[in-house]
Structure 1
Amino acid sequence: MYKHILIPVALDHETLIDRKLENARHLLGDGGKITLMTVLENIPGFVSEFVTMKIDNHLTGKIEAKLREAAGGDDAISCAVVTGKPGVQIAQYAEEKGIDLIIVGSHHPSAQDYFLGSTAARVVRRAGCSVFVVRD
């Protein structure tokens, strides 16, 4: 059983959250914890020049509220919002926080995903812990 499970959440793929949480609860050991996390991608420099407010500061609170809602009010589930490239930040966060399992979601692969790579594939390649992939 796992002690600390990380569930990265792409808010545009909310349909997988319940399945990922169900799997996490099944795999979680006694006294273990679950963290829901979203990664905000940085705005490219050429775009940020035209933005008058810090978009990540503006969105962080709203995204944390969405994660809390996804957690169903379960206070045992913690939530985190970080910025950067998702495939990199998820693996880095897991290493920093002592995560021993990451549960990622993935759609069925196509030729486009094979050449470009998906976030799930990047996490699997970079993570130093086990990764459980839930298909939609």
Structure 2
Amino acid sequence: MSTYKKVLVAIDLTEEAPQVLNKAKSIAESQAAELLLVHVVEPVGYAYGGDIPMDLSELQDQLDKAAHDQLGQYGEQYGVAKDSQIVTVGRPESEIHRLVKEQGVDLVIVGSHGRKGFQLLLGSTANGVLHGTECDVLAVRIH
């Protein structure tokens, strides 16, 4: 009997994503678990603090489309079904916590750069996911 039935892997769509995806695919296969592929697009307003009086919806739409396209490519490459590929908009930690509950996830896999000092104190997505998720979390060291 497998330990994990549903694994969520959250990636940032950088060139480092395959390191995390390879580990997630291997774990999901060894557990005969379903693999959910997730990317969270942060709202453009966060980047500008919401202080710019302009309509950023077109830029947000472009970012969303690019994320869907790139996630779809990873999904195809790693054999993840379209209905198991999720692009959502919001704060990464909050969206991952929400998806864990909604999807019945029992393992979250995220990448970690292993930051130290002030960067660690300020927190990271991996740290935020770890401290608010009720299931197991695996942080894959990115080299």
- Normalising by structure 2, we get a TM-score of 0.80
Q: Which residue of 1 aligns with 2:36?
A: 35
Q: Does the alignment pair 1:79 with 2:73?
A: no
CA contact (8 A) 1:90 1:123 kept: yes
Q: What is the number of residues matched between the two proteins? A: 132
Counterparts in 2 of 1:24-63, with a 5 A limit? Answer: 24-28=24-28, 29-30=31-32, 32-42=33-43, 43=45, 44-47=49-52, 49-51=53-55, 53-63=57-67
Q: Compare the two structures and name the one with the higher strand fraction.
A: 1
Tell me: CA distance 1:52–1:126, structure 2 relative to 1, closer, same or farther (3 Å). Answer: closer
Rounded Cα–Cα distance in structure 1 between residues aligned with 2:119 and 2:80:
36
Which 5+ residue runs of structure 2 have no aligned equivalent? none
CA contact (8 A) 2:111 2:139 kept: yes
Pairwise CA distance, 1:73 = 6.1
Secondary structure at 1:127's aligned position in 2?
Answer: coil
**Residue deviations 1:45-86 (CA, integer Å, cap 9, x gap):** 323x31353433332222111012123162436211111111
Cα RMSD over matched residues? 1.9
Which 5+ residue runs of structure 1 have no aligned equivalent? none
